Every structure is written in C-alpha cells, then in structure tokens.
C-alpha cells in the first residue's frame, strides 16, 4: 500500500516568507509526527497528533511554527516569517495506534521536505 | 529529558562485522528503536528492544541492557549497501504523556569500504 507522502519535496523561500509543508500519513494510522533534521544531525521532534486529542506541541522551537491535522488524516506544518536557521529537512511519520498503548509499533517516515531559506 | 549518545562516524570493511553502540539516560524507559537512513532518504525501521537481551533479524542484531542504559546494533557480513546512518531512538514514558515520545540520537554514519 501507499506509504507516507510529503509535499513539496523541495522548497526554496526567501527569509521572512511563510511556508506550508504537507503530510499524508498511511491510511488508518492515527498517530502522526513531525520532525526536523538539520544537515548531518539527528531528528528533532516538533509535534505529535494522536486521533482527535489535543496535539503535543512541546517540540515546536518558536511560535512561528504551527501545525494542523484535518479530519484525523492530512497534516500541514506552517512556518511563519522564515529564518535561515529554519533550513532543514522536515520529516513526517505516522504509526498505527497510540504509542502509549502500542509502544513497540514503529514509525513510518515520509521522504521529507527539504526547506532552504535564502 | 534524556541524553542519547552514539559515535558520529564508523568505517568498516565489506564482509566484516561492525557494532554500533548507543548509550542513553532516561527516567522512564519504554523501548529502544534502531533506524537506518540512507543519504537523502527517510529513516526505515530496523529493530525494537524493550527487554534485556539480543534480538536477531538476519544479518542485523540489536542488544539492550536496561540497567546499563546501553544498546548496540550488530551488522554481520557487511555489504556496500549497508553504508548509511544508523539512528538510535529511545521511548520514554513520563507523567501523563500519552504520546510516549521517541527521542533520537544524532546518528552514526557508517561507511563500508571494499
């Protein structure tokens, strides 16, 4: 079946502009995560959605970052007034069921969106 | 919060065995994952350990010692295609966190040479 998809695959934007990144999780996966990966670095957790519950926003680096998940499926990560330090690959992942109930279930990652802020 | 440490880079020879270590500090351990990430691609799941001991999957094995806060990923019969980054990730339970988040280490970049 289809995996996690993300769009666009690449985005170049000017400093100060807003950007929207999209994630389509695997159908039926209730958990959705956003991560950021800077060049040569590990994954930095940004935000987590589980079903209809309030999202865990504890990883968002500033109030310029926000995310929504509509209808429990597609998610959009928005970065306002982009800065050069926002340049990174933004990865989305989904997993089946709540990781609280099913901690062994792995996350499936999308191919990422490479964001470059000039 | 937690600290996860793994070597930044390792080099090994095709056909050999390599062990990638990961140490962590956490107050509410609830599992450790290893992911493989080829350059420019998404991470893919390799293994999961929650109890002490060795889990074997073909050429890959993963070991966990909870008392030592230590895991390793063992790759046998190395192939050129194993050149990738290997990410250690720890799941921690804390308070009422229903999310039960994964925290990733910085990754170990493995280069396999002929």
**Bridge-based pairing state of the strands B108-113 and B9-13:** parallel
A47-92 per-position pLDDT tens digit: 999 888 888 888 899 999 999 998 879 999 999 999 999 999 999 9
B23 in contact with A at a CB cutoff of 8 Å? no
Q: To probe the interface with A, which of B100, B103, B108, B109 has the most A CB atoms within 10 Å? A: B100
Q: Cβ separation of A42 and B87 shorter than 8 Å?
A: yes
B45 → chain A, closest CA residue: A106
Q: Cβ separation of B104 and A110 shorter than 8 Å?
A: no
Do A18 and A82 contact (CB within 8 A), yes or no?
Answer: yes
pLDDT at A15 over 70: yes
For B105, which of A42, A100, A104 is closest by C-beta distance? A42
> How would residue B98 be classed by pLDDT, with cut points 50, 70 and 90?
very low
Q: What is the SS3 string spanning A20-87?
A: EEEEECCCCCCEEEEEEECCCCCEEEEEEEECCCCCECCCCCCCCEEEEEHHHCCEEEEECCCCHHHC
Tokens, residue B109: 């970049």
B37-94 per-position pLDDT tens digit: 999 889 999 999 999 999 999 999 999 999 999 999 999 999 999 999 999 999 887 6
Q: Cβ separation of B107 and A42 shorter than 8 Å?
A: yes
Q: To probe the interface with B, which of A9, A42, A69, A107 has the most B CB atoms within 10 Å? A: A42
């Amino acid at each position: 079946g289809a995996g996690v998809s993300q769009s666009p695959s690449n985005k170049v934007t000017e400093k100060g502009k807003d950007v929207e990144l999209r994630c389509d999780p695997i159908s039926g996966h209730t958990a959705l995560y956003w991560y950021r990966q800077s060049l040569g670095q590990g994954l930095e957790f940004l935000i987590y959605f589980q079903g209809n519950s309030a999202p865990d926003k504890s990883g968002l680096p500033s109030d310029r970052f926000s995310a929504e998940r509509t209808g429990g499926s597609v998610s959009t990560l928005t970065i306002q007034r982009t800065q050069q330090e926002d340049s990174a690959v933004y990865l989305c992942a989904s997993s089946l069921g709540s990781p609280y109930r099913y901690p062994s279930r792995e996350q499936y990652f999308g191919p990422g969106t490479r964001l470059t802020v000039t | 919060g937690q600290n996860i440490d793994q070597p930044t880079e390792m080099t090994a020879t095709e056909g050999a065995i390599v062990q990638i270590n990961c140490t962590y500090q956490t107050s509410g351990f609830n599992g450790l994952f290893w992911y493989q990430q080829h350059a420019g691609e998404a991470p893919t799941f390799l293994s999961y350990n929650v109890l002490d001991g060795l889990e074997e999957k073909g050429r890959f094995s993963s070991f966990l010692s909870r008392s030592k806060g230590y895991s390793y990923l063992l790759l046998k019969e190395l192939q050129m295609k194993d050149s990738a980054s290997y990410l250690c990730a720890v799941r921690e339970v804390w308070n009422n966190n229903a999310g039960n988040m994964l925290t990733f280490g910085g990754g170990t970049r493995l280069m396999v040479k002929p």
